[in-house]
Structure 1
């Protein structure tokens, strides 16, 4: 009986150990990310601790990358200062963190045109894992690789300001 319990217990430990190795949820123990900066023209995103760059990532944008997002479906990525306001661990694009677009100014601008400003703008992973996205392809979001998104998801907390530059 003891031998059987020992074998079953050992098997359970091996099985549990195998499950934990490839989790998409990483831990981060470094300096707090206090600001995120996106430079659309250069296609780069920077995670900063005050004025020190902690990490930088190449990015993909909306399929119409020039200019500020004005209305739903325009394919543009917003420009301005927003906040990281939510996270989605079950995203269709691996993991995602939400950007607080639209703000009040964005809503007013779209309303003046008789349109919806849209929403659901995220920093997220890839649409097809293991295939490199060549061009801007999102509907206004900011995309990175899945591996990079795992780091960003761990490092950037809700409430972090994000500045998106042209």
Structure 2
């Protein structure tokens, strides 16, 4: 009887362990990511250690991908050099890391047009509530697959430089 109870308990434990989902928060112990480069034309994001490419990813951009972000609502992804300045573990887009847009020049450019520069530019995963229909669908952010943002979230530290090129 005790053996049967033990066997049933062991099988239940194994079955429940198989149902457990893995954490979206990964550990990374490799070389530091010293910079990020986004090539908008190629739709590629590179994580670099010095000049060595550690990882690269295909990305989606703002729904109007050509040109520098000028003001809130233009659908463009910024160009220039910024910093990773925050992270959101409860993002509407799975996980996200924030980019320090707008800078002083971005604010001045938008103000000269009588507009807000916008903000909340992130590298993020996929939406939790819908499936995008095309590659460039964000409001100006950089989108990757959920498995990829898990890696990026683990590898990139706040303060890391990010350069976004045309």
Give unmatched runs, 5+ long, in structure 2: none
Cα distance in structure 1, aligned partners of 2:140 and 2:146: 18
> CA, structure 1 residues 120+130, in 2 after alignment: closer, same or farther (shift >3 Å)?
closer
Aligned pairs for 1:11-30 (under 5 A) are 17=17, 21-30=21-30
Aligned to 1:150: 150
Q: CA deviation at 1:133?
A: 5.2
Aligned to 2:106: 106
Q: Over residues 136-160 of structure 1, what are the superposed CA-to-partner deviations in whole Å (9 max), with x where a residue is unaligned?
A: 0000000000011111110111000
Aligned pairs for 1:53-72 (under 5 A) are 53-72=53-72
Q: CA deviation at 1:134?
A: 3.3
Give unmatched runs, 5+ long, in structure 1: none
TM score, norm. by length of structure 2: 0.87
TM score, norm. by length of structure 1: 0.87
Q: CA deviation at 1:10?
A: 6.9
Runs ≥4 residues deviating over 2 A? 9-21, 128-135
Contact 1:129–1:146 (Cα < 8 Å) also in 2:
no
| Alpha-carbon RMSD | 2.6
Question: How many residues in Structure 1 have an aligned counterpart in Structure 2?
Answer: 165
Q: Over residues 16-37 of structure 1, what are the superposed CA-to-partner deviations in whole Å (9 max), with x where a residue is unaligned?
A: 8557651111111110000000
Aligned to 2:34: 34
Q: CA deviation at 1:12?
A: 10
